[in-house]
Amino acid sequence: MCGRFTRHHTWREIHAMYRLTGADAGRNTEARYNIAPTQDVLFVTAGDNGCQKVREGRWWLVPHWAKEVPKFAMFNARSEEAATKPAFRDAFKMRRCLIPADGFYEWTKGEDGGKDPWYIHLPDEQPFSFAGLWAHNTALDITSCTILTAAAQEPMTALHSRQPIILEPSAYDAWLDPATSVDAATDLLRQDLDGDLQFYRVGREVNTTKGGVDHPGLIGPLNPL
């Protein structure tokens, strides 16, 4: 699963992963170190004339047909069932997105019974894109997104049985293209970078988002060498 993530690279480094134009390419968004479900995030969708577009919305999918914001967890979607589950299938068919990040957190049970957070990233903390789905609910005027997950592979199995899907850049165009069939999109999810992940323990301050806990120290190693 993915319950928190980070985006601390500059937008110049982030936007280089995509084909953005105009204001989308020139954004000056603040770094984030503790992005939690229901908060607003930036995500990338197909745009016009072969370009890509940045949108902003709630990290907690609200299907286009929903009459209220779902109370059950909608910040992750299991890739094995997203194409057929009513809450996600329309988005999986037509509204796939990329969610830029450069790390995320997972938790294990500590010796004292508390939750020990781990910071997970690619080598050299390079920016990447989660495979996601998005929706716009006109009645509620809410744009939203969710992150697709899959069964964990090495090395993530040491921390959790699930992990977010980090797409290979070569799969971006086809993933975003609404013309890509459901079967082809499902196959694209196997083109991931998840086997390259690395991780280390961080302090428990990241366990809460109350009081604006969001600063660079959150991703510092608990016991640096």
Residue tagged active-site, from 106, 145, 154, 168: 106
Query: What count of Cα atoms within 13 Å lies in the side-chain half-sphere of residue 7?
Result: 21
User: Torsions phi, psi of 84, nearest 5?
Assistant: -120, -20
Task: Say if CB 140 and CB 176 are below 8 A apart.
Answer: no
Beta bridge partners of 41: 57
Distance (Å, whole) CA 41 – CA 45: 13
User: What is Dmax (Cα atoms) for the chain?
Assistant: 55
- What's the rounded Cα separation, in Å, for the pair 180 and 187? 11
Backbone angles phi, psi at 62, to 5 degrees: -115, 100
Catalytic residue (choose from 2, 13, 97, 205): 2
Is 2 an annotated catalytic residue?
Answer: yes
DSSP at 125: G
Active site residue 145: no
CB atoms within 10 A of CB 128: 27
Compute the C-alpha angle 32/35/39, nearest 5°: 115
Look up tokens 């980070």; give the residue. Answer: 6
Q: What are phi and psi of 134, to 5 degrees?
A: -140, 165
Q: Which two tokens stand for residue 164?
A: 């977010």
Q: Which residues are catalytic?
A: 2, 106
